[in-house]
Amino acid sequence: MLVLRVIRTRSNPFPSSQAQRIRVRRQPFSSTGKRERGRDLPLVPLWIKGERVTTSSGGTVFTKNSKTGKESCEVVVAGEEEVDSAIRESRRAFDEWRDKTGWERKAVLSKVVDLLPDRFGALTEALRADAAFSEIVVQGDRKSALHLTDGAALTAASIEGGIPQTVDGSFAITTREPFGPALSIPAFNYPLTLALRSIVYPLACGNSVIVKSSPLIPQLYHLLGPLFRDAGLPAGTLQILNFSEKDVAARVEQMISDDDVRMINFTGSVRLGKILAAKCGEHLKPSVMELGGKSVAIVLPSADLKLAANNILFGAFLNSGQICMSTEQVLVHQDIAAEFEKVLRTTADEAGWNGGMQLVRPGAGDAAKELADDAVDSGAQVLFSATSPTASPSSSSSSASSYPPTIISSLPDTASLSTTESFSPILTLHLFPSTSSILSHANSHKTGLTASVFTNDLSQALNVAKKLETGAVHINGMTIHDQANLPHGGWKESGWGRFNGKGAIQSFTQSKNIRVILPGKESMLPLHAIYGGM
């Protein structure tokens, strides 16, 4: 889930491959919509104060389609002035939005749900103008976006406090209160779902939101401001900002360090999450970090091997492996290893895959090839490649922006792929002599977002699930799953905080105690005793 590199203002805040993808134009863009040099590209504005902003001190950048390499749009980017304006407006709007009842916030978010189906066509067109996504991902993304937004609407009306007991007979209540303006930095890979999730849960809890759009799919974000406006969200409650490669680090740091920005939520890689978390810590800002992982699928002796192979391959190669919950490693008990390897390979062959799977990040195909080549050079074997059963990872079906579905076995611990999240269609197979050794390997990873366990022994499955150090465990199902009433987030380096339901309430609100000394319970305090014994 690579989104941005931030904080080090003197270093390039994007990978070099992405830097090649975006060119900055220094002159601010004219609101007349005229193009220089005969260009005829869509213009992606900022969204500030509930309006499109087409001129900016930051100028504009040109973005290229990840598959064709052709320029797809011109993006207005926020400079220091626009960021400051967005922050001040977000703080102003927060004072209005936090006073809305949970039912009023629910009504706005429910209206978003109502509007979404009629806008799916335009949203998909905007998405595919910038990047390549398969139809199954687009359809799944739509369904997930509707589900999570509807869940956020229910969350808005579900925020509760309590009435705790007191030792002095006073009356106390505890409430959950919003933080204030929240900076949201979503990932690109499940585009509509992740963009909306980063917006609707903070809004449901009474916060205003400033969104940093993804530079990989800016045209999708362009349509979100009008969507929420038309749903009745007060102007200024949502700001959507685009940034240039040159200035993104400084602008993100500007927002995190500003006193009026009260919390941050980020979905992305562990490496970038650490950078952001350090900056949040410097300014004592609470954060939600939903980071990547090295998700494992465990196959035990009593498992339905065909079911396991099917779900594991789907979880590994859906969206070309570009999902934080993608299955990266299969951990198989030695007793069924030979049989399962045969079933896994047969299932992959029968899928009819052919050639490279498209990847969104520029250079991602080259990065996948580098990981696979290093694995083979270290002694690993290619069990399956989409080009042919014996094709090597260096097959011509890979490119700078694509890579074929590949299964690698006999991976040594010294290979980078053993610990690095590939975020590509690469799956590794590992054999172990016992369930305890499988658990030991699974928990040795520094990350822990999600895992799967395949077995027909429910008692064993629950025992393994309890011992796995991960935020979610799916028994006889793939590692990819998200549901509006199930808290979603990771353990260890996969982050902290939760999206969805009660988890979102805990993450996007803070507690407050209000204590009332009831009539007849008041007492005068002994001021004369303060100095006693000093």
Task: Identify the helix (H) or strand (E) that includes residue 385.
Answer: strand 381-385
Residue 454 · residue 478 · CB < 8 Å: no
d(CA 370, CA 368): 5
Q: What is the pLDDT of residue 361?
A: 92
Residue 383 · residue 409 · CB < 8 Å: yes
Alpha helices in 424-525 (DSSP H): 435-444, 458-467, 501-508
Q: What is the pLDDT of residue 167?
A: 94
Select from 236, 167, 230 the least CA-distant residue to 203.
236
Q: What is the pLDDT of residue 455?
A: 98
3-state secondary structure of 366: helix
Q: What is the pLDDT of residue 400?
A: 86
- Per-10-residue mean pLDDT of the chain, 534 residues long, equals 33 35 37 46 97 97 94 98 98 98 98 98 98 97 98 98 94 98 97 98 98 98 98 98 95 98 97 97 98 96 98 98 97 98 97 94 94 96 79 58 96 95 97 98 97 97 98 98 96 97 97 95 92 85
Q: Which residues contact 449 (CB under 8 A, 6 or more apart)?
A: 291, 292, 293, 295, 324, 325, 470, 471, 472, 489, 490, 491, 494, 495
3-state secondary structure of 265: strand
Task: Identify the helix (H) or strand (E) that includes residue 430.
Answer: strand 426-432
Instruction: For residue 448, give the amino acid letter.
Output: G
Q: What is the pLDDT of residue 136?
A: 97
Q: What is the pLDDT of residue 387?
A: 80
Select from 350, 377, 114, 307 the least CA-distant residue to 228.
114
d(CA 218, CA 437): 45
| Cα–Cα distances in angstroms (integers) from residue 67 to residues 43, 71, 72, 360, 393, in the given order | 20, 11, 11, 7, 20
- Number of C-beta neighbours around residue 415 at 10 A: 20
Active site residues: 290
CATH superfamily of 296-387+399-488: Aldehyde Dehydrogenase; Chain A, domain 2 (3.40.309.10)
**β-strand partners of 147:** none
- Number of C-beta neighbours around residue 260 at 10 A: 17
Each domain of the chain, given as residue ranges in start order, spans 43-291+500-512, 296-387+399-488
Select from 41, 77, 74 the least CA-distant residue to 56.
77
d(CA 166, CA 149): 38
- Number of C-beta neighbours around residue 31 at 10 A: 12
- CA geometry: angle at 329 spanning 328 and 334, to 5°? 165
Q: What is the pLDDT of residue 397?
A: 63
Select from 416, 426, 234 the least CA-distant residue to 321.
426
Residue 382 · residue 395 · CB < 8 Å: no
Sole residue written with tokens 């070309």? 320
Q: What is the pLDDT of residue 17?
A: 36
CA atoms lying within 13 Å on the CB side of residue 352:
0
Instruction: State CA 43 to chain mean position distance.
Output: 26
Backbone angles phi, psi at 359, to 5 degrees: -115, 145
Q: Which residues contact 257 (CB under 8 A, 6 or more apart)?
A: 279, 282, 283
d(CA 462, CA 469): 13
Tokens found for residue 128: 């595919």
Q: What is the pLDDT of residue 383?
A: 96
> DSSP secondary-structure letter at 527?
G
Tell me the helices (H) and strands (E) count for the chain, helix number first. 15, 25
d(CA 225, CA 186): 15
Concatenated DSSP letters of 110-146: HHHHHHHHHHHHHHHHHHHHH----HHHHHHHHHHHH
Q: What is the pLDDT of residue 40?
A: 87
Dump pLDDT digits (tens) for 17-75.
Answer: 333 333 334 333 333 333 444 368 999 999 999 999 999 999 999 999 999 999 999 99
Sole residue written with tokens 């360090």? 257
| Cα–Cα distances in angstroms (integers) from residue 13 to residues 128, 156, 256, in the given order | 25, 35, 16
> DSSP secondary-structure letter at 216?
T
Q: What is the CATH number of domain 43-291+500-512?
A: 3.40.605.10
Tokens found for residue 284: 């004592």
Which three-class secondary structure string do you get for 28-68? CCCCCCCCHHHCCCCEECEEECCEEECCCCCCEEEEECCCC
| pTM of the full structure | 0.90
> DSSP secondary-structure letter at 488?
B
